[in-house]
Amino acid sequence: MQPEFRSLTPADLDAMVVVEQAAHAHPWSRNLLADAFGERYFTGALWHKNELLGYFIADRVLDESTLMNICVSPAWQGRGLGRRLLEHYFTQCRALGLSLLWLEVRASNRAALALYASAGYQESGRRRNYYPALNGAEDAVLMQMAL
């Protein structure tokens, strides 16, 4: 199987909602996902035939970008697709002339933390009790890297 990359469009919103809700205990809402098609945002997605396997949403301001969301369908996790999406994000950032990248991730998301660290991100801070969790709230780990 060789998935293909393409940007997301508003026509992909239904597929995004399905993947988002399947992959996250606290998914983004349909409205929040729809907002990702504004002028300052850019996206990338992996597709196999007509199935959305995963996607990312990022913003850009001046020469910086924040990776807002990266999501892989649970049926496709553990196959390196998150890394492929991250590498595609880096490729798009270089093409846009961006030089400083940011993200935040749940402190409990060990797999994502390991992926980001292996790609060159470094922890730059924390937002205490930022994300809703089953037992109250959990920290957001802030990470950055120079591209």
**Phi (first) and psi of residue 120, to 5 degrees:** 115, -5
Catalytic residue from among 20, 104, 131, 138:
104
Q: Which two tokens stand for residue 40?
A: 């300052």
Q: What is the C-alpha to C-alpha distance for residues 8 and 77, in angstroms, rounded to an integer?
A: 20
Is 131 noted as a catalytic residue in this protein?
A: no
Q: What is the C-alpha to C-alpha distance for residues 5 and 116, in angstroms, rounded to an integer?
A: 20
Q: What is the C-alpha to C-alpha distance for residues 79 and 103, in angstroms, rounded to an integer?
A: 22
Is 104 noted as a catalytic residue in this protein?
A: yes
The answer to whether the beta carbons of residues 127 and 139 sit under 8 Å apart is yes
Q: Which two tokens stand for residue 15?
A: 């597929």
Catalytic residue from among 55, 89, 116, 131:
116
Catalytic residues: 104, 116
